[in-house]
Structure 1
Amino acid sequence: MKEQNILAGFSTEEAATQAKKALLEAGFSTVQIDHVGQFPGSGVDSILNPITGEFSSLASLTLSGDFPSGRDASVLAAADPDASGMADSGDDPFTPFLLTAVVPADRNAEATEIIRSFGGMV
């Protein structure tokens, strides 16, 4: 049976999770959600006091980035306007949650309709 891939972006993890649940209930078995970000890593996992200086860089603190390749990448990322905390994304269409589904070709329209009903951008 021929299969097709569907890639859909979501602005919230909750919407992506609901779409995944609906797809699984409809009988689609290969569905996953990933978080896609501008910077590598998962960022700071604990509450830090920046006054103590116990953080690796401004970029890791404000952008939730992890820069294991060296200090240069961290300094460059800290030059991004978002690092100041004063940037406004406005109507940024960025959708950080990616839902990927592998569906039978004859059920592609059904799966796409389910995804769009939860706000997914296919």
Structure 2
Amino acid sequence: MGEKNILAYFKSPEEAEGVARKLNALRAVEVSVDRFSRYAGEGYDPMNPITGKVSSLAAITQDAMITNTSAGILAAADPAASGMSHGGQGGPTGHDILLTAVVDEGIHHQALRIVEEAGGLM
């Protein structure tokens, strides 16, 4: 039999990890859980924006770790930088956790059901 892939989005790492455990119990070929963002970098090093060096408005308002001026300008142009948009981390849906799985074709439908029951978006 062949293999099928699944990409599912979750609101929290705990939701995705729970599904990952169930898929591993079904003997999934590969399962990974990662956080993603539309901005470069990982994490945010909080500092005093008045006395510290701030790379971009997006570094303060969107927890983006901006590494160059051009990226900072582009990220600061996003409506979320003003604080007047909804969505928070991960964008409007708040689903910023990605579960990626490769499963055997024979368990693909069962794996999809597990993801749907856990509230994952595919």
TM-score, shorter chain, exceeding 0.5:
yes
Identity %: 39
Shift of 1:71: 0.5
Secondary structure in 1 matching 2:114: helix
State the 1:78 CA deviation.
0.8
Instruction: Structure 2: give runs of 5+ residues left out of the alignment.
Output: none
Q: Which whole-Å deviations, capped at 9, do the CAs of 1:34-72 have from their partners, x for residues lacking one?
A: 21211111141x33111213332221222222333x302
SS at match of 1:116: helix
Q: Which residue of 1 aligns with 2:99?
A: 99
Counterpart for residue 86 of structure 2 = 88
Distance across 2 between alignment mates of 1:121 and 1:57: 32
Question: Once superposed, which parts of structure 1, at least 4 consecutive aligned residues long, lie more than 4 Å away?
Answer: none
- Helix, strand or coil at the partner of 1:42: coil
Count, aligned residues: 119
**RMSD (CA atoms):** 1.9
The structural deviation recorded for 1:21 is 1.5
- Cα displacement (A) at 1:102: 0.5
Check the 8 A contact 2:43/2:65 in 1, yes or no. yes
Contact 1:33 1:100 in 2 (8 A): yes
Establish whether residue 120 from structure 1 lines up as the match of residue 120 from structure 2: yes
Q: TM-score, structure 1 length as denominator?
A: 0.84
Q: State which drifts further: 11-20 or 98-107.
A: 11-20
Query: Which position in structure 1 is the counterpart of 2:15?
Result: 15
Letter in 2 for 1:53: G
d(CA) in 1 for partners of 2:4, 2:106 = 9
Aligned positions of 1:36-47 closer than 5 A: 36-44=36-44, 46-47=45-46
Gaps in structure 1 of 5+ consecutive residues: none
Instruction: Measure the CA separation in 1 of the matches of 2:74 and 2:102.
Output: 37
